[in-house]
Every structure is written in structure tokens, then in C-alpha cells.
Structure 1
């Protein structure tokens, strides 16, 4: 796949995600449940590219029944699903044989369980729009709908992919994203009292939430996550009814302070200087007996505030005559978890209610809505980062791919010229690698590639660039090395690759390496042109090394003027 194809695919994914987020912004305002469900299936089909999509909800008798569907060809209607129902136990059976693709599941149409379920009316086979060996009429995609903590209450069934292919991980992430928004919107509709509390805040802060959604559309902008979090913190101290708030994000087993609102500069600096708070320590103010809805209300009259935790948090100073006995006091706090897909991403700490009283259930649930938005936004940031990583990284080895290699190598040329440093490129090819695949299988071959990549990367400096160009080929770009140093490094790489050992592969691995060097005074090439010329010379040297018997280093040329 060339660089332009990867760029086009990434652009297409970004465009589809923006459309999903645009629809998601409106899902919570649907007052008619059937219209809401139809909008979800319509979006999945039209935006994500499926000929048919249905959504089934778990009824009180423990069976999933289709409540809405979209068919782009018009050959399916709701009448076709009148007799359709799937017991919860059968969904569990399907998930046991399904292959996970990100957060959704694919069941190959040849699975015997699908034929059985079709006979019982639990599965409907559809004729694919595009004939393909990859998609069977009974193939099934499953995007579960969850309510906290991890209870499945519905399923989106995308069917008949218009490209005839099983979704890639990137496309599966978009399906899962829509399912996440659908889950939230359906639950908002089902719990009207909770939804109304959330929508009152939403109406009062419509512009803030619009900015939050727009921000989650453009997560590649510098500091974007901080802006999203700051909007959430500011909402807590405006519409949320508190004077002070802070947002902590989880990092391993710690909570790190990211943004504050209503806290002065000196106090904010002190909090940052204190560093992360251990999760176990923060849990002292998040005990089960402190729960109010999904949040934790800490009343220091009932539970003592540990001294060390009190020093790491921001506790406002108040004189005795400012306190109203029985109401909120400086050592009290409200902690709202930021949770997405059952994972704790962080917490919002709210302090000093404007009216001086403890918040009621409705106010806490409204604030939890903001926490939900923060969770969605942070999750989208992580998904975007993963998409970007997939576009720039070789999935087998974790090395750069061609696209990211060219971009970084060109920047290194500019820097090397500015600093007067020499440059070098290497083309590395594992010898007789096809024989490894033929004799031991492609899985073993993949292990050899991964082990070779790790050995190359471990031998290089942190500033060196290494990428997998495809198959068993690797390229290396170096700066600040002369011809002797480049050849010496290439020889050390040859030796380390000769020591590669993979279980169940009884074959000696060797490598041929071509090297080319350029002086900083070479100016007749553009940065990209110089990288191309060095790789061309290194590639030519590689072929010479192969012709001379393999398992050797060959110098291809020196560009010095």
C-alpha cells in the first residue's frame, strides 16, 4: 500500500468519524424512541457502508428483538423481522465463537451455530450486494450496546458490507464509536428523569457542548485534550453550581492533575508540584458507602480526611464565621468518575457549592452527564491516536512504515545539513526468507521478522530511523556518521541478525546489507530527493551483496558533491 493510499484511507476514516460525531450530537434530543433507533441504523448503513443494519433490544423475557432496521436496497423491511428473536444465551454462544475486531465481533458465516440459529429464526441470511469470498450471507457482525458497568441491553447488527469485506480494525472502531453513542442516547431516553436533568444542563450550555464535540472531531490539534478537559471543568464551575473544580486523568495506578477551574494560580502550581496521587490513596474519598448515583460525596463529618491526601488536594481556607453548620465545609468534596466502556479514565473533583449546600441527586446526575462527555471525548482522542499509529506503524514489528519513514527522514536531512553532519542509508534484506516461510509456515516467518526488527532497533541509536519497507526488507537512515562508522554499524547489524533464534525454526538466519553515504555539502538534491538517491544506491549495493554470496555488507556509493 503506497503513501497516497494510506493518506486517502485515513482521510476517509476521519470524514466518517466526523459524520458519526455530528449525528451523535443530536441523538440525545430524540423524543421518539423508534425514530432514535432508526437514526442509529440509518447512520451505520449510510455513513459506515453497510447494505443493511438492524438494532435489537433485550426485552423482559430475556430475548433480543429487532426494533428498527435500515435496508439501502429496500429488499428487507421490519415485517421480515416479526418472527425474529434471539435468546440472551444464544448471543453468549455467538460471542464465544466470534472473532473480536476491536470492540465489535465477527462470526464467520460458515460457523455451524449460524445455520442452526437460522433454522430457529434467530438469524436472517441476506444476499450480499457485492459478491465476495470474504463475506458469507450468514456472516454476522455484532456491536453490543452496554449500560454500566458492562451489561448488554441491545445489539447493533451491521450486515452486507458494501465493499464485500470484513471490516478492518479502523472501520470496526467507527462502528464501536457509533454503538457507544447509541448506548448513551438510548439510556438517556429510557431514564427520562435522568435525561431531563442532563438536558437542562445541555440546553443551558449548548455552545459549550458543541465546542466539546467539535474539539473531539479535531484531536490532532496541539493541546486538544487539555481544551476538552478545560471546557468540562469550566462547565462544572458555571452551570454545575460549584466554585472550584479539578480534573485528574488516570496514568497506570495514579491520578495526574490536568486542569482546574476557579483555583488561583499559586494553588494550582502547588497541586502540580505535589505530583500524581496514587489511586489507592484517592480511593479513601471514593468508598462504596459514599456513593451518590455514580459519584462519591465525601462528608468529613462522617469520614476523616487522611492528612497526606488532604495535603495533595486543594482544601479552601474558611474562617469559622463563614461556615454554616450542617452544610458544606472546606474538607468536603464531590468526586465524579470519568468512565468510558467500563474503564476509569479519570475523575472530576468538585468543591464549594455556590449555595453552600450538599448537592442533591438531580444535580449530581447532571454533573455526571458532563463526565460522560469528557469520557467520550478522551476515548475518541485515544481512538484517533490508534488510527494515526496504524497509519504510521508496521503492525507486525511496531517499526515505522514507508509513510512515516519518508516524513521523518526528510526532516533529518534538513537538520543534518544545518548542522554539517554526514548521512547514511542502509537497505537490509533477510537472506532466503521465502524458504523459512515455505518450510516452517508464515507464522514462524512472522516471528523471525519481529525478532529481526527488535534486534535492529536495539542496535541503533535513539536518533536513528528504522522502518520495515515490506516483506523481509528494512531500511535505516542515519545522521552524524561517516563511511567507516556506517559500514561498522552495518557489520554489527549483520552479526546480530545472524544470531537471531526463533523457537521451532531450525534454520540459520542471515542478512545482506547495502550501504550508501552522503556528505552534508551535497545540495543538488531536495531533502526527499537525497533520501531517494541514498536508498537507490543502498538498494543497488544490496543486490551486489546478494550476487556476491549473501550474508555480507556492501558499500553502494558516497555522495560528496
Structure 2
């Protein structure tokens, strides 16, 4: 199409006419002056509103503009916007409207002026006249090259034929000037917008770098990063995910604008082969999508998202994570914005790297301090444990010390059962509710089961850690769970899980398994490391020594107070117990009796069958006594074939009854080499007797029974 030239053409006839009509010369001068002023305004002003006001002002000098509008057309949005509108000489604001079927659309479509009058209206145009009725209408397209930018129109509601062909020519020339002004303004607006955007980006970059340098906390860095980037990128949502290279998963560390269900990935993470984020993490290359509806990689996490940008966070060639921005509008992101965000991501990567180094240093320092404190505490506790030789007191002390000093909220100690040495019995616990502990302590766990899970794959140093994620976890534990598992809430994959298990086997000095120490719920929420397990093992070794010492002490104490042949109390302990029972009887005013027993003709039995057979007889006789007395009764062997029985809360009649029953049971029992008999002396505590007197009275009654023919029960009157 040939470009229109804004030239006011004057023919020879018109020139002669102008010479005869001076007012026309003045009008022509006015028109030229108006065009000059418009051109001057275009050259001087960059703001479109200023130029349009000058166009309207100058046009008003040339024709009736009490009804006027200048409309701009957006073909992409199919929208007509009114940059300037006048009704009855007053500025008005008309809302934008969609492309429809009015006079403005006719001019846009035909790309030529339209001049109509009410009395000679062209029927072809009549159907598209809408709005306020007018007597005259003049509209011209605003054209720049091949592009129709809009329409400029004047109307008269009072006079028909208010606008002439010459007015049409003048308005067309003014529209040409308007086209240039609009083009200049658009270019200026675009450049200004770019400059403002760049300035905002540089300010954001500077502020972000300052923010990132002010802290060494990774989470703070990432949240500040989102706070700065999301608004300037006009993003409706954003998140920063860091990569766990061991698990090949990404975990959300900062998030804004996403549904609540997305936040579970803070704990669960997602695999690196998933979605656009995974692609960027694998390749290290940024990605932006103008319309995610056209993407096969996008994983829908927000129902309103239409465009996205994902940039890698890379340091020294290693991908640390990704930053994701999402918008509810199509085309929000492009190459320029992606490059800018990538620049910031590079600074963030350095800050994250520095923060991690700092965090590692802090953690290492704290760990060393903690280890030092723990080792000192282990030493202190070990000394305290060594001083406690009572096993029943020692075991609770061990688990309490673990909870207080080693950072585990739960500790449970199991010992080899004395009666069933192929099983473990739970003996002490801390951090477990009483009702659950009552269940656990009554359960026996086969030692063989523990040995079955002491596998190399679970070994950390000398301990065994069984993660809940192990494929054989359920089959391994079954119903033999040795650790109470509390509800620890949601945990990240790298943290301790409530179904994880860690136990340390304890061995004695002969390398015999004597105990299992189970721990749970570490306060730092971390899975066990080699270093943390070693501290636990140091304590476990000291605990094993203390347990073995307590066992040996118990055995030594037992040997000191018991008869080695029969297992009954010996003479010395018998006297200690008799003193105690006499004191209790006087204090609480209850009866106390004593039986003195002697096997008849034992020397002859011993001489006939030998000492070994005699020893068997003594053990069998001791067992017979124990089977016929109460648990509160105290049985002892006082040497040779002599035995005593302390009978608390038993009067003389009760004591004689028991003595007679023992005599009869002895005579009826078939011992190894035949039947034997026993003589019994009975004494009951009287006022002012002490333990020695009571013992002496029982002995005298026994002596009389033996002198009276044996196999008798004699009681002190």
C-alpha cells in the first residue's frame, strides 16, 4: 500500500479562489499553524497524553470537536481503548470495549475515512451506527505504514453537513501526525519500561546480594531470595528446592503461594527424574514455559498456573538445587527474565555454599563440644556406676544416664534371663509409658533372634541400626520389637523415623552376651553416625563392666551368706537374720518361733555310703525342707547335718505342727540309699529373750529329742 503523505494540496483554481476570499487564506494559515503545533508537540513531548491533548486543542481550532474521540486498537486482545474522549465539550472517560460492529470497527476494517450526515445516510453504513444520534460524523483511520493503530472521530449533534471534504483532508493529516505520536509514545513507553525493569532488576540484584550476605542460615537465605524475586518477576508462586545427591531427591526449603498439600515435599521430597524441576536439576540448564498447557514435562502443582520458570542453583559446576517461579498468566517469563533470575541464582548458590561451610563448621564445633561433654559425662557416670553394686539399682541408673547425657529420649535395657538363659528379659527403661512398660517387662525375647539381626549390613561400629525403610523390616521385627516406638510426627527422609531401631550388644569379660541396650528418639532427630554410635558404645562398655561387677558382687555376697553345698543360708547369716526377726517381733508384737533339726544317725550313713552320697542326702533333705515351708520362712544349714528354720509370725502350736509335718515327710521320703529320720527342737520367743537365748532354747529341745530316742519333736514348755 502506498504511504499517505500529509500534504495540503492547493490547485490553481483554489489559489484564485483564496485570493478572492481572504478568510480562506486566514483559515489555511490557521490549519498550517495547527499542524505545525502538533508536529512541534510530537517533537517536544514524549508522553502520549500530552501530545493527544495538543492534537485535540489544535483540532478544536479547525472544526467542531465538542463530540470527539481518539480510539486505539489492540488486535492481539481484540480490544478498543479510548485514549481521549469528549462529550459536549467535556473530557469523559470511556471504558475499553471488545471489537464489535460499530463505526469505529468499520473504519478499522476498511482503512479509509468515513463522513456521513443524517439526512443523506448511506444505507450500507446505517446498520452500524450505534450510540448517541448525531447529525454529522467524520472518522478517519490512524495508520502507520501497514498497521492501523486506531480511529480519530468528530461528530456534531446539532448540524447536518458540519464537516466538509476539506475537513476530512485536514483530519486525515492530523491523524497521520497522531500515528507518528502514538508510534513515538509506544517506543518511548517500551524503552522506558525496559529501562525501569532493568533498574528494578539491578536494584533487586543489589538488595538480594545484600540480603544474602547478611546471614549464614540457609533457610533464611532461600526465603529472602523468594521474597525479593517473586514480586519483581510478577510470579504468583515460587519455591526453592535443594538437592540431596545421596537420595537423588529434591526437598522444598522455601515456598510461597502453593496449596498446603504441596508442602509435604518438604519432608518427602520428590525424585530427581520428575517434572521440569527434575529436568533442570539433572541438566543444570534453565527452562521457561510461556504456556504450560503445551508442556509435557510440567507436573501440575497449582491449578491456576499458566506459565513457569525454573533455574538451577549451581556452584562450581555442581547443582545445589532449583528455583521455581509460576504465574497465573500466559507469557510472564522469557529469555531476559530467565537470564536475570539465573544471575541471582548464581549469587544465591555462593551464599548457600558459604552458609553450608559455616554450618558444617558450627556443627563440627558443636559436635566436638558435645562429644567432649558426653565423654566427660560418661566418665563421671562410669565412676558412679562402678560404685553401685546392687543390680536392681544399677540398671535404672544406666538408662537414666543415657537419656540425660547421650541425647536419646528412650532407652531400654534387656539382660540374659537367669532362669532361661537362652532368652532376654527387659529389666530397665526410661521414656516409655508405664502401661507399655508393664507389657514389655513380661515378654521374653529369644537371644537367637537378636543374633539373627546382627548382620553386617546393619552394623555401625559395634552397634546395629535397622532403618524403617529396609525391605525386610517387617519380617525382621515381627512381634519381637524391643523398643517402644512413640509417635514422632512427620519426619524428613534423612531424619530419625519412629520405626528406626538402634541397639548395642553388651558382652562380659569372657565375651559372653549379657545384655542388649536399645535406644530411640534422638533429640537431634538425626540418624546415627559412626561418631555418635561410638560415644554410645563407650558408655555401653562401661555399663557392661558395671553390670558384670554387680553380677560378681551378687554372687560373692550370695556365697558369703549361703552354704555352698545346699544353697541355704549359712550359720553366720542365720544369726544376722535371727537378730533382725527378733527385733521385728518385739517391735510389732507378733510371735516368732525357731526350729532346730538334726538328721538322725547321719554319721553312720556317711560312713556307710561315703561323703559324696552323704552330700547328696544333705542336698535332698534341704530341698524337702524348702518344699514344705513358706516363702517368708528362713532356712539355714548350721554345719554338718544340723539345720534351722526361722518362723516369723508363728506361735508355738504352729511351729510344732510344721515340725511334726517335716518329721513325718522325712521318714516317708525315699532318699538315695533308703529312709532316714530327723529330730526337731522347737522354741517360741518369750519376753526378755534375745536371739541367742531363743537359739539356745531350740538347741536344748533338739538335744532332748535326740536323747529321748530320736525321730521326735520336742518343744520348749
2:705 maps to 1:554: no
Q: Match for residue 616 of structure 2?
A: 447
Q: 1:306-325 alignment to 2 at 5 Å?
A: 308=479, 313-319=484-490, 322-323=491-492, 325=493
- Post-superposition offset of 1:201: 5.1
Contact 1:335 1:347 in 2 (8 A): yes
2:552 maps to 1:387: no
- Post-superposition offset of 1:318: 2.3
Provide the rounded CA distance (Å) in 2 between the counterparts of 1:383 and 1:311. 27
Across the two proteins, how many residue pairs are aligned to each other?
340
Provide the rounded CA distance (Å) in 1 between the counterparts of 2:606 and 2:569. 23
Q: Match for residue 413 of structure 2?
A: 247
Higher Rg: 2
Q: Match for residue 439 of structure 2?
A: 274
TM-score of the superposed pair, with normalisation by structure 1 = 0.54
- Post-superposition offset of 1:316: 3.9
Q: 1:317-396 alignment to 2 at 5 Å?
A: 317-319=488-490, 322-323=491-492, 325-340=493-508, 341-353=510-522, 356-396=525-565
Contact 1:412 1:479 in 2 (8 A): yes
Q: 1:408-427 alignment to 2 at 5 Å?
A: 408-427=577-596
2:622 maps to 1:457: no
Q: 1:212-251 alignment to 2 at 5 Å?
A: 212-220=382-390, 223-237=393-407, 242=408, 244-251=410-417
Cα distance change on mapping 1:301 and 1:478 into 2, 3 Å: closer
How much is the aligned-residue C-alpha RMSD, in angstroms? Answer: 3.2
Provide the rounded CA distance (Å) in 1 between the counterparts of 2:614 and 2:416. 38
Provide the rounded CA distance (Å) in 1 between the counterparts of 2:568 and 2:542. 34
TM-score of the superposed pair, with normalisation by structure 2 = 0.43
Contact 1:213 1:377 in 2 (8 A): no
Contact 1:429 1:513 in 2 (8 A): yes
- Post-superposition offset of 1:476: 1.8
Contact 1:226 1:258 in 2 (8 A): yes
Per-residue displacement from partner, 1:360-395 (whole Å, max 9, x unpaired)? Answer: 334433422221111111111111111111111111
Provide the rounded CA distance (Å) in 2 between the counterparts of 1:424 and 1:236. 53
Instruction: Between the two structures, name the one with larger relative contact order (CA 8 Å, sep ≥ 6).
Output: 1
Cα distance change on mapping 1:232 and 1:338 into 2, 3 Å: farther
Q: Match for residue 679 of structure 2?
A: 512
Cα distance change on mapping 1:326 and 1:482 into 2, 3 Å: closer
Per-residue displacement from partner, 1:246-276 (whole Å, max 9, x unpaired)? Answer: 434443424426132xx4xxx5335314323
Provide the rounded CA distance (Å) in 1 between the counterparts of 2:372 and 2:546. 16
Aligned with residue 256 of structure 1, among 400, 405, 426: 426
Query: Which deviates the most, 534-543 or 227-236?
Result: 227-236
Aligned with residue 536 of structure 1, among 696, 703, 707: 696
Contact 2:679 2:711 in 1 (8 A): yes
Contact 1:202 1:209 in 2 (8 A): no
Corresponding residue SS for 1:205: helix
Provide the rounded CA distance (Å) in 2 between the counterparts of 1:283 and 1:270. 28
Provide the rounded CA distance (Å) in 2 between the counterparts of 1:393 and 1:554. 27
Corresponding residue SS for 1:434: helix
Cα distance change on mapping 1:429 and 1:297 into 2, 3 Å: same
Contact 1:286 1:298 in 2 (8 A): no
Corresponding residue SS for 1:228: helix
Structure 1 residue runs of 5 or longer lacking an equivalent are 1-196
Q: Match for residue 20 of structure 1?
A: none
